[in-house]
Amino acid sequence: MNNNNMLQEWPETIVRVQSLSDSGLTSIPDRYVKPPNERPSVDGNDNDESTTSQYGASSNDANIPVVDLSGVDSEDGSVRAETLRRVSEACREWGFFQVVNHGVSHELMDRALGVWREFFHLPIETKQLYANSPRTYEGYGSRLGVQKGAILDWSDYYFLHYLPSNLKDYNKWPHLPTNCRKVIEEYGREVVKLGGRLLKVFSVNLGLEEGFLQNAFGGEEIGACLRVNYYPKCPQPELALGLSSHSDPGGMTLLLPDDQVTGLQVRKDASWITVKPAPHAFIVNIGDQIQVLSNAIYKSVEHRVVVNSGKERLSMAFFYNPKSDIPLEPAKELVTPDQPALYTPMTFDEYRLFIRLRGPRGKSQVESLKSPR
Ligand code: OGA
Ligand code: NI
């Protein structure tokens, strides 16, 4: 079967993780049991203290950097310089940081989390109206990738397009709760603005002209989509993952995490660091396309989500992406005899086909793009 045929329908009957969780089972089906080396709490490198913090005691205080973004617009040149430096360091050393004083209304952020919590608590029949297929992934889903027999993640999600306008289809957005579409619309507008500001900071930090990355992304014609992740309670969290290790395929991600429950872990060298969200912060991370454009000066970093038996968790991942049909390659300014281009040109459309087929797989995808040297 060719790729397009494979992407028409799911290879197996879809089971909503929420229904499994609600059924009160005490052990999880084999389909959700990760191989021992991928489980969140096992011997070896993965068995770091930050992982155990999910389950209580932790002696690891490491966290991704927190940046006060208001410093970017400071009148005081030294404050601005220090803010840019902190973003630069975070991009190089972590691929992840949190921003506070980012300009997006806290009340809107709370409202957005609220409508999606309401959505996921609607009756299953209502949600089923939006059941998605691997063709576009839009709608209510419970798996990524179409490989038959794959081990699945302990989560359901909702995926929708916000930009470009021709892909934005209100019929594929939930009509309930009643204010859902309005809130998504407003939220998207604010977060796109924030994304644009961050691209400028990244461009300047890379020594490029301020508008470089925005232009490379297609200017006004960027893509943007939202994936709302819903992680139900899991009776055996030590065997499963809410979301397997992956790097984000797009440009950059602005994540609004649950304000009550942690779960996101970021790879730092050989260990997994549990992100402790600052109140009303966005978690920003570099995606594969910025890794490509920056010729790997910035790296998209692997991350995953662990689940727990006590509380469900919800997060909103807003993906700020390049226009999908322009070939992306390392910025010429960042290619030198010492640092030759690491990637050959590829459009984001071509790139994301891999993930739609294979599901989340660490960084295997961007690694496979490397030009032969
Ligand atoms: C994602 C993601 C993290 C989270 O949706 O790509 O990494 O905390 N989500 O849900
Ligand atoms: Ni991600």
**Where exactly are the structural domains of the chain?**
3-10+33-366
Atom 8 of ligand 1: nearest residue by CA position: 264
As given in the structure block, the two tokens for residue 363 are: 């960084």
pLDDT of residue 26: 97
Atom of ligand 1 nearest to the CA of 319: 6
* Ligand closest to CA 247: 2
Dist. CA 107–CA 189, nearest whole Å: 15
* Alpha carbon distance 152, 45 (integer Å): 23
Distance 86 CA to ligand 1 centre (A): 23
By most ligand atoms within 8 Å of CB, the mutation choice from 315, 316, 320, 321 for ligand 1 is 315
Which tokens go with 146? Answer: 């179409």
What count of other Cβ atoms lies within 10 Å of the Cβ of residue 107? 9
- Report which ligand 1 atom has the smallest distance to the Cα of 258: 8
Residues of the chain with pLDDT under 70: 1-2, 42-60, 371-373
CB-based contact 315:258 (threshold 8 Å): yes
pLDDT in tens, 314-362: 999 999 999 999 999 999 999 999 999 999 999 999 998 877 888 788 8
Q: How far is the CA of 246 from the centre of ligand 2 (A)?
A: 6
User: From ligand 1's centre to the CA of 243, what distance in Å?
Assistant: 7
In sequence order, the 6+-apart residues with CB closer than 8 A to the CB of 25 are 235
Tell me the CA–centroid distance for residue 314 and ligand 1, in Å. Answer: 10
The pLDDT assigned to 364 comes to 78
Kindly give the distance from the C-alpha atom of residue 62 to the centroid of ligand 1, in angstroms, as a whole number: 19
Q: Whose CA is nearest to atom 9 of ligand 1?
A: 317
DSSP-derived letter for residue 72 is G
Ligand 1 atom closest to the Cα of residue 231 is 10
CA distance 21 to 307: 12
3-state DSSP call for residue 139? strand
Which residues approach ligand 1 with their CB closer than 6 A? 227, 229, 243, 248, 255, 257, 263-264, 303, 305, 315, 317
Ligand minimally distant from the alpha carbon of residue 264:
1
> Atom 10 (ligand 1): residue with closest C-alpha?
315
Contact 262, 253 (CB under 8 A): no
What is the sign, positive or negative, of the torsion defined by CA atoms of 29, 32, 36, 39? Answer: negative
Q: How far is the CA of 106 from the centre of ligand 2 (A)?
A: 22
- Angstrom distance (rounded) from CA 232 to CA 22: 8
* Sheet-wide strand order for 243-246: 243-246, 303-305, 264-268, 271-274
Nearest ligand 1 atom to the CA of 157 is 5
pTM of the model: 0.94
CA of 303 to the centre of ligand 1 (A): 8
Reported for 80-88, long-range contacts at CB under 8 A and 24+ positions apart, including other chains, are 84/201, 84/204, 84/205, 87/198, 87/201, 87/202, 87/205, 88/205
339's tokens: 């640092």
pLDDT of residue 50: 42
d(CA 21, CA 283): 27
Residues 264-322 have pLDDT tens digits of 999 999 999 999 999 999 999 999 999 999 999 999 999 999 999 999 999 999 999 99
User: Encoding tokens for residue 309?
Assistant: 């038996």
Q: Does the domain made of 3-10+33-366 have the CATH classification 2.60.120.330?
A: yes
